[in-house]
A and B are shown apart, each in its own frame.
Chain A
Amino acid sequence: MTVVRDRVTTRLAVPTMRKQSPLIILVLGAIAVVALTYTLPPFRTYQLATVGAYLCVTAGLTVLTGLNGQLSLGHGALMATGAYTLALWQNKFNLLVVGIIVAILVTTAVGAVIGLAAARLRGPYLAGLTLAVAVVVPSITSTFDGTFNSDQGLSVVLNPPPESMTVEQWQAWVCWGGALLTVFTLALLTRGRFGRDMRAVRDDETAARLAGISVARTQVTAFVVSAACAGLAGALFAVIAQSVSPGAFPLTLSLFLLMAIVIGGLGRLTGALIGALLLVALPAVAHEIGEAAGSQRLEGNLALTFFGVVLVVVMLAAPGGLASLRIPLKKKGQR
């Protein structure tokens, strides 16, 4: 133990690395979530669960886009892959934990295929490819309607939660279990060599290559990691909603995810958390406004407008995203 710590301290003797262990965050987060599920009313607990599920995908996406510089507009489709895998698995075997793992594996495989193509593309072409993936989801579900049941989607067989807790508490625990594990893993990954490789590739591919980093491998790995996170998020959404349908994973979802991490702060896990929170909070606020204005028709379209306005305001006021805002006690360098 002491030997390990010595090694770690000497290796991390760089000043900017003075950070708390992700393990502490993991434990604190878990305690906070459990405490919240016992204090919040059911609907808030449900929203909390949704934030957890969103956090899985935003965390993965912010690592991909913020740290590795690959722009993906197709993460909604990767979520759909995870969700449909879980639904099909559950309806056949009804083993939730295994189902979630299978969902992650299948999405990872799909992510690897897209990632291989993506590593050969740059900028707008990469965005275009991933966009096509997002657009194709509804067509796949209606072409193979025998398996995916078209727009109506599939319901997900789930065993009822243990007697001692409500459905919403159980959902929140499952989702935040996944989210905290995701954040923990990503925090570890991005701190180590892989994180440095990703940043190096993002900043200058030629320089990275000269430094002995395999650019293509780094990019594909980043995409695969990010896809796995999206698959987990999709599976969790299937658990929360007890159903999957293409309408849950439209193109706008992929766009919302990207907007959320940009507003939150690109490349930061804190930003991913803020983004996940906004994804749940902004539509709710839009609904309140719509209701107050006396027109329920407004809210169908208001959330989009709202996101756009928030994006513009945040980009003007804090170009680094909300996570870059500091309480002006101590000034630190960028990132």
Chain B
Amino acid sequence: MKRTATVLAAVLLAAAGCSNSGGSSGGGSSADTPGVTDSEIVVGTHMPLTGPAAAGYSKIAPATKAYFDYVNANGGVHGRKITYKIMDDGYNPANTQQVVRQLVLQDKVFAILNGLGTPTHSGVLDFLKTNRVPDLFVASGSRSWNQPDKYPGTFGFNPDYTVEGKILATHVKTEHAGKKVCFLGQDDDFGRDSLAGIEKVLGPVAAKQSYVTSNPNVGPQMGALKAAGCQVVMLATVPGFTALSIGTGAKIGFKPQFVVSNVGSDPATLAKTLGAAAPLLEGVVAANYLPLVNDTANPWIQLYSKVNKEYNAGAEMDNNTVYGMSVAYLFVQALQSAGKDLTRDGIIEAVKKGGFTGPGLVPVRYSASDHSGYAGEQLTTIEGGKAKYLGKPFRTDDADGAVEVYEQAAVAPPANGIPAA
């Protein structure tokens, strides 16, 4: 037992040796705001760079970083350069706990930006609140992010899955009237919120199935939907599982009309995952709220292409790239709005003030009483392997409000591609 004591002492001493000086956190002025100096702002994120949700999503954070590098090369924001720390959580909620603590406690980031995933990010809401860390533009459409009283520092980015469900269901109601509509969703708040929106418009669906990302097999679910005689299948799935569902369906001779959530619908990602079976994607209906990557005439896409070429090593662009850069653009807008004296409270106030206009087809909603992101979506369909927009953008709420057309045209980016103060 003497050895036990010796080892214990050695271990504890070694641990003490690893210690680095602790910093203080507070909300006074930017001088003592964690992660902010006169020349730098450190921001962190958690992303699935590996694991079941990595397909497609792993391209988001590098795109965000590329846009920040572009801003940094043009003088930064109020003279500060943005450092973006990207942590891989493998879409595993347990890892998210670990990496977010590392970002907040060890790396002392100013804010968590665009943390990805409903099941993953749900688990760190309380931790971020306790530590008073701004939790901006979560990369998910769960309604959990929109709880201003409970989580005053958390703001979503994507349209609520319920909003999206209502918009997609409205399309199904008009275009596929009288058909048997079914649902396959992720077994968490993503799937549940989505189904809630769909059923608000369509009433109860004919059959519903769920999957978990830890089990990459949807054979039983697709079989059940086929047996139920579904003609339209609405998917609340991440890209890997969208491809899996469509592919598995085709294998058992089940080819209904698929209507897919925005987060699982990037054609480039799906085509890559399906490989030779990519033609199955023709006619799949989805929705989006940002410019589509193949719309090369769009000034935002031109801006993003330029940034991607210069700062992202010319990586292959898809809608995830567009998404990542749009997040970065919005964050820079918020920083500009928060002013030179940057504090954690300051940026939350700036986001609450809202009024940001950017690449979105519909506006973001942020206000003191609403922390959800984009207000609606426009339907897309896949033609010749590429997505294209249908009709006009729609806007609605997550309650019983009507789904209405949003008429205002999108704005163009500023000439230098960086939002002004």
Interface of A toward B, CB cutoff 8 Å? 19-22, 24-25, 28-29, 32-33, 36, 39-44, 46-48, 138-139, 142, 145, 149-153, 155, 160, 167-168, 187, 241-243, 245-250, 269-270, 273-274, 277, 287, 296-297, 299-301, 323
Residue of A nearest to B102 (CB): A43
Given contacts A151-B187, A187-B1, contact A168 B95 (CB under 8 A): no
Q: Does B21 reach chain A (CB closer than 8 Å)?
A: yes
Q: Which of B9, B19, B50, B187 contacts A301 (CB 8 A)?
A: B50
The answer on a CB contact under 8 Å between B87 and A323 is no
Which residues in A have their C-beta under 8 angstroms from that of B250?
none
The 5 A-B pairs with the shortest beta carbon distances in the complex, nearest first, are: A248-B94, A300-B50, A152-B119, A43-B105, A43-B106
Which residues in B have their C-beta under 8 angstroms from that of A247?
92-95, 214
Residue of A nearest to B125 (CB): A155
In the assembly, what is the distance between CA of A245 and CA of B118, in Å?
13
Query: 10 extra interchain contacts, Cβ-Cβ under 8 A, other than A242-B127, A273-B11?
Result: A20-B5, A28-B8, A40-B15, A41-B106, A48-B15, A152-B187, A241-B94, A250-B92, A270-B7, A296-B87
Residues of B within 8 Å of A, CB-based: how many? 49
Which residues in A have their C-beta under 8 angstroms from that of B97?
241-243, 248
A155, A168, A296, A301 pick with most chain B CB within 10 angstroms: A296
Q: How far is the CB of A320 from chain B (nearest CB, A)?
A: 12
The answer on a CB contact under 8 Å between B105 and A39 is no
Which residues in B have their C-beta under 8 angstroms from that of A168?
105
Q: Does B123 reach chain A (CB closer than 8 Å)?
A: yes
The answer on a CB contact under 8 Å between A242 and B126 is yes
In the assembly, what is the distance between CA of A242 and CA of B128, in Å?
12
The answer on a CB contact under 8 Å between A25 and B126 is no
The answer on a CB contact under 8 Å between A41 and B105 is yes
The answer on a CB contact under 8 Å between B51 and A300 is yes
The answer on a CB contact under 8 Å between B8 and A25 is yes
The answer on a CB contact under 8 Å between B212 and A273 is no
The answer on a CB contact under 8 Å between B101 and A46 is yes
The answer on a CB contact under 8 Å between B1 and A19 is yes
Which residues in B have their C-beta under 8 angstroms from that of A43?
101-102, 105-106
Can you give 17 contacting A-B residue pairs, CB < 8 Å? A19-B1, A19-B2, A20-B1, A28-B8, A40-B16, A40-B19, A44-B15, A150-B188, A150-B212, A245-B94, A247-B94, A247-B95, A248-B94, A248-B97, A269-B4, A273-B7, A296-B88
Interface of B toward A, CB cutoff 8 Å? 1-5, 7-9, 11-12, 15-16, 18-22, 49-51, 58, 86-88, 90, 92-95, 97, 101-102, 105-106, 118-119, 122-123, 126-127, 130, 187-189, 210, 212-215
In the assembly, what is the distance between CA of A153 and CA of B9, in Å?
37
In the assembly, what is the distance between CA of A215 and CA of B82, in Å?
65
In the assembly, what is the distance between CA of A227 and CA of B160, in Å?
43
The answer on a CB contact under 8 Å between B93 and A153 is yes
Q: How far is the CB of B46 from chain A (nearest CB, A)?
A: 10
The answer on a CB contact under 8 Å between B214 and A246 is yes
The answer on a CB contact under 8 Å between B212 and A245 is no
Which residues in A have their C-beta under 8 angstroms from that of B5?
20, 24-25, 28
The answer on a CB contact under 8 Å between B7 and A323 is yes
B51, B126, B210 pick with most chain A CB within 10 angstroms: B126
Q: Which of B2, B8, B87, B187 contacts A29 (CB 8 A)?
A: B8
In the assembly, what is the distance between CA of A145 and CA of B22, in Å?
41
Which residues in B have their C-beta under 8 angstroms from that of A149?
188
Q: Which of A20, A138, A152 contacts B122 (CB 8 A)?
A: A152
Q: How far is the CB of B133 from chain A (nearest CB, A)?
A: 13
Which residues in B have their C-beta under 8 angstroms from that of A150?
187-188, 210, 212
Given contacts A151-B214, A241-B123, contact A297 B49 (CB under 8 A): yes
The answer on a CB contact under 8 Å between B49 and A155 is no
Which residues in B have their C-beta under 8 angstroms from that of A29?
8
The answer on a CB contact under 8 Å between B19 and A41 is yes
In the assembly, what is the distance between CA of A5 and CA of B127, in Å?
50
Which residues in B have their C-beta under 8 angstroms from that of A142?
187, 210, 212, 214-215
Which residues in A have their C-beta under 8 angstroms from that of B212?
138, 142, 150-151
Q: How far is the CB of A31 from chain B (nearest CB, A)?
A: 10
Which residues in A have their C-beta under 8 angstroms from that of B94?
241, 245, 247-249
In the assembly, what is the distance between CA of A296 and CA of B18, in Å?
23
Q: How far is the CB of A332 from chain B (nearest CB, A)?
A: 10
Residue of B nearest to A248 (CB): B94
Which residues in A have their C-beta under 8 angstroms from that of B105?
41-43, 46, 168
Which residues in A have their C-beta under 8 angstroms from that of B21?
41
Q: How far is the CB of A129 from chain B (nearest CB, A)?
A: 22
In the assembly, what is the distance between CA of A223 and CA of B42, in Å?
48
In the assembly, what is the distance between CA of A155 and CA of B123, in Å?
7
In the assembly, what is the distance between CA of A250 and CA of B52, in Å?
14
The answer on a CB contact under 8 Å between A297 and B58 is yes
Which residues in A have their C-beta under 8 angstroms from that of B11?
273-274, 277
Which residues in A have their C-beta under 8 angstroms from that of B92?
245, 247-248, 250
Q: How far is the CB of B233 from chain A (nearest CB, A)?
A: 20
Which residues in B have their C-beta under 8 angstroms from that of A46?
101, 105
